[in-house]
């Protein structure tokens, strides 16, 4: 455990001019040019990492939220100093925000480490921002506390509630199938996202918020407060107050993230039917803190952890309902027999103490089921292994069709995202409803950089005939808001010569959720010939890249290692 140090305020981490007193004098002189008094400059400093951006609609309420944080810091006797970092707006970045998660983590880490702050408030929300901030704060080593954007509120369309982005996918699938008109899809487009905040369902943003709360890195009860709710402002102010306390007694995230606390987070992930993306992010977070996640242990947890939360995309409700129904605290109380209760939060409180303190809090059983009356007796996600995925793959069984769990079927292969776009709606595509759709070259080292493309659309001619789900396998990711029988994160990926790269249309694929297996049923002699041909063709490929993208391609690790760089 790291021993807390006394706050250094504006004198922390002095710029090196070879004369410390000169460095202090010069810094204070320039600080005073911003209007600070000596009294203010003598206070402990709380840095506020602000990820407001015109390219991040999830964070458009951050100016108001920031004022509340600053108010809390000032009230508690600290000096709030705001600094910007990269902001990752999920749907605004090409080719995918995942390419930039590690860059944001590096940005956050170095700004915290280099700047004179005694603690830091991390303001984030949209999918990759929270894991990036936590990763960066772990490596920076200063006391920190997370404040999330909160989920957006639902919209309405013809008497039906709408929430981005599960409902956007549902309506788009209906539009592709010809069930609704272009006029109606335009109406839906304007009604899906009507407030600031992250997706209104248990997508990646809300999943990560719930897990970071479970890890004890944010105020209890704050993960699910809607972005537009007044409690979001109150918790922002409280976060500022608490951050001042951390300047005296806080311990860094690295000391709070242990094998036990990571296992708690995995247990909650399974119980809430959370996003598959969380496996990658939690793995990266754990490894930054010197811990490991075993997918085999994850499967063991999945067999003993019930699904308790009834939220889209796996259920019927929305995050605003989850907040009103008890939120993360209600889930923790139900999971108490499965949790490591001695894990501590940033304020020193144990998880067991929190559960005891909240034992009489309200819970709506439509949102959070009792432990002995679950939605499912087993967890929402599992890992598969086999000749097609030696290092593992992930399936969200809570959002999948159980009739497709045990199959042997023919592969229909797409070699890239471009190939998928060119052929998926071709009326001459050789595909049947009982085939398996395979997407290659969409993993972390591919040109696509592991986008949320794993939930392949139904081929147009099958969608028009009423087919709504098929087994889909790829080295890509899937949005936490998506649904369907989708196998993701196949590792090692196709771009590094993994078995997925060897699959050809017509091959037989065997999947068994019961046995946790995913296999390519092709003899080794045939695979050896394909492997040799693949090696020869790969040697001819050359990608001209520069700067960060070169660093990314060289250093990014595989999905089962969290897709972090091999620098930590």
Identify the CATH number of the domain in which residue 417 sits. 3.50.30.80
Domain tally for the chain? Answer: 3
Q: Tell me the pLDDT tens digit for each residue of 271-296.
A: 999 999 999 999 999 999 999 999 99
Q: Which of 193, 221, 204, 208 is nearest to 361 (CA)?
A: 221
One domain, residues 159 and 149: no
pLDDT at 480: 81
One domain, residues 159 and 148: no
Decide if 377 is inside a domain: no
pLDDT at 541: 59
Q: Where are the beta strands (DSSP E) in 10-140?
A: 45-50, 79-84, 119-124
One domain, residues 423 and 324: no
Confidence of residue 314 (pLDDT cuts 50, 70, 90): confident
Q: Tell me the pLDDT tens digit for each residue of 242-271.
A: 999 999 988 999 999 999 999 999 999 999
Decide if 566 is inside a domain: no
- 108 contacts 133 by C-beta, under 8 angstroms: yes
Decide if 94 is inside a domain: yes
Distance between CA atoms of residues 124 and 127, nearest Å: 9
Decide if 215 is inside a domain: yes
- For tokens 């809607």, the residue is 226
One domain, residues 169 and 311: no
- Cα-to-chain-centroid distance, residue 235: 22
Q: How large is the average pLDDT for residues 415-443? A: 97
Q: Which comes out higher in pLDDT, residue 536 or 275? A: 275
One domain, residues 64 and 114: yes
One domain, residues 170 and 203: no
Concatenate the DSSP letters of all residues of 520-546 into one string.
E---HHHHHHHHHHHHHHHHT------
One domain, residues 421 and 432: yes
CA distances from 62 to 87, 258, 410 (A): 12, 31, 49
Q: Tell me the pLDDT tens digit for each residue of 336-383.
A: 999 999 999 999 999 999 999 999 999 999 999 999 999 999 999 999
Q: Tell me the pLDDT tens digit for each residue of 217-247.
A: 999 999 999 999 999 999 999 999 999 999 9
Q: Tell me the pLDDT tens digit for each residue of 122-163.
A: 999 999 999 999 999 999 999 999 999 999 999 999 988 988
Q: Which of 439, 437, 418 is nearest to 501 (CA)?
A: 439
pLDDT at 522: 98
One domain, residues 283 and 396: no
Q: Where are the beta strands (DSSP E) in 142-213?
A: 144-148, 155-157, 160-162
- 453 contacts 474 by C-beta, under 8 angstroms: yes
Confidence of residue 166 (pLDDT cuts 50, 70, 90): confident
One domain, residues 454 and 404: yes
Q: Taking the model in full, what pTM does it have? A: 0.95
Instruction: Work out whether the CA dihedral 290, 296, 298, 301 comes out positive or negative.
Output: negative
Decide if 1 is inside a domain: no
Phi and psi, residue 447, nearest 5°: -60, -25
CA distances from 253 to 139, 145, 236 (A): 9, 9, 19
Tell me what percent of the residues of the chain surpass a pLDDT of 90.
90
Decide if 4 is inside a domain: no
Q: Which of 251, 252, 249, 253 is nearest to 265 (CA)?
A: 253
pLDDT at 543: 62
**Residues 6 or more apart from 483 whose CB is under 8 A from it?**
166, 169, 313, 314, 396, 399, 400, 455
pLDDT at 545: 77
Distance between CA atoms of residues 388 and 432, nearest Å: 21
One domain, residues 185 and 311: no
Helix (H) or strand (E) holding 391: strand 389-395
Residue 469 has pLDDT above 60, yes or no: yes
CA distances from 563 to 71, 91, 283, 509, 552 (A): 37, 20, 8, 26, 10
One domain, residues 73 and 84: yes
What letter would DSSP give residue 397? G
Q: Tell me the pLDDT tens digit for each residue of 381-416.
A: 999 999 999 999 999 998 899 999 999 999 999 999
C-alpha atoms less than 13 angstroms from C-alpha of 394 in its C-beta half-sphere? 31
Question: Which tokens go with 427?
Answer: 């009326």
For the stretch 476-494, what's the b/e string if a residue is b when 16 or more beta carbons lie within 10 angstroms of its beta carbon? Answer: bbbbbbbbbbbbbbbbbbb
- Domain of residue 161, residue span: 155-189
- 279 contacts 381 by C-beta, under 8 angstroms: yes
Decide if 382 is inside a domain: no
One domain, residues 92 and 237: yes
Q: How large is the average pLDDT for residues 87-108? A: 96
Decide if 365 is inside a domain: no
pLDDT at 53: 97
Q: How large is the average pLDDT for residues 413-421? A: 97
- For tokens 């911003």, the residue is 34
Q: How large is the average pLDDT for residues 57-77? A: 97
For the stretch 83-118, what's the b/e string if a residue is b when 16 or more beta carbons lie within 10 angstroms of its beta carbon? Answer: eebbbbbbbebeebbbbbbbbbbbbbbebbeebbbb
Distance between CA atoms of residues 458 and 94, nearest Å: 23
pLDDT at 225: 98
pLDDT at 482: 81
The mean of the pLDDT values for the chain is: 95
Residue 520 preceded by cis peptide, ω within 30? no
């Amino acid at each position: 455990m790291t021993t807390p140090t006394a706050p250094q305020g504006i004198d922390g981490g002095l710029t090196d001019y070879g004369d410390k007193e000169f460095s202090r004098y010069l810094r204070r002189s320039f600080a005073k040019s911003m209007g600070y008094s000596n009294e203010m400059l003598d206070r402990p400093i709380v840095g506020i990492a602000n990820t407001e951006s015109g390219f991040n609609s999830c964070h458009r309420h951050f100016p108001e939220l920031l004022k509340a944080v600053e108010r809390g810091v000032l009230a508690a006797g600290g000096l709030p100093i705001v600094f910007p970092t990269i902001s990752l707006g999920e749907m605004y970045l090409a080719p995918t925000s995942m390419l930039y998660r590690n860059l944001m983590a590096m940005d956050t880490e170095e700004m915290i480490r280099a700047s004179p702050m005694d603690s830091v408030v991390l303001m984030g929300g949209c999918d990759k921002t929270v894991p990036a901030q936590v990763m960066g704060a772990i490596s920076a080593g200063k006391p920190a506390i997370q404040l999330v954007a909160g989920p957006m509120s639902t919209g309405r369309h013809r008497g039906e509630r709408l929430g981005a982005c599960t409902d956007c996918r549902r309506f788009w699938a209906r539009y592709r199938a010809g069930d609704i008109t272009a006029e109606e899809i335009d109406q839906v487009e304007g009604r899906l996202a009507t407030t600031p905040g992250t997706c209104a369902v248990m997508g990646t943003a809300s999943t990560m918020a719930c897990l970071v709360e479970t890890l004890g890195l944010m105020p209890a009860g704050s993960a699910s407060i809607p972005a537009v709710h007044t409690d979001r402002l109150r918790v922002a102010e409280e976060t500022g107050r608490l951050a001042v306390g951390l300047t005296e007694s806080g311990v860094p995230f690295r000391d709070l993230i242990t094998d036990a606390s990571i296992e708690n987070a995995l247990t909650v992930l399974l119980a809430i039917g959370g996003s598959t993306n969380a496996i990658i992010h939690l793995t990266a977070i754990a490894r930054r803190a010197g811990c490991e996640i075993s997918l085999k242990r994850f499967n063991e947890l999945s067999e003993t952890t019930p699904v308790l939360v009834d939220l889209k995309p796996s259920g019927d409700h929305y995050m605003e309902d989850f907040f009103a129904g008890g939120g993360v605290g209600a889930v923790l109380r139900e999971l108490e027999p499965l949790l490591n209760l001695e894990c501590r939060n940033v304020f020193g409180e144990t998880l067991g103490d929190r559960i005891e303190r909240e034992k009489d809090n309200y819970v709506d059983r439509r949102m959070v089921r009792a432990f002995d009356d679950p939605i499912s007796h087993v967890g929402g996600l599992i890992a598969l292994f086999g000749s097609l995925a030696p290092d593992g793959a992930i399936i969200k069984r809570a959002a999948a069709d159980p009739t497709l769990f045990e199959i042997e079927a023919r592969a229909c292969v797409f070699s890239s995202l471009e190939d998928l776009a060119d052929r998926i709606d071709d009326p001459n595509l050789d595909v049947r409803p009982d085939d398996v759709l395979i997407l290659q070259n969409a993993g972390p080292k591919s040109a696509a950089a592991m986008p949320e493309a794993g939930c392949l659309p139904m081929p147009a001619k099958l969608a028009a005939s009423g087919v709504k789900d098929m087994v889909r396998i790829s080295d890509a990711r899937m949005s936490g808001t998506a649904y369907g029988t989708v196998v993701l994160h196949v590792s090692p990926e196709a771009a590094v010569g993994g078995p997925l790269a060897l699959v050809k249309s017509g091959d037989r694929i065997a999947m068994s959720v019961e046995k946790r297996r995913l296999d390519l049923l092709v003899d080794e002699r045939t695979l050896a010939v394909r492997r040799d041909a693949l090696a020869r063709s790969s040697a001819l490929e050359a990608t001209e890249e520069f700067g960060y993208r070169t660093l990314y391609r060289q250093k990014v690790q595989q999905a089962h290692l969290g897709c972090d760089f091999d620098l930590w």
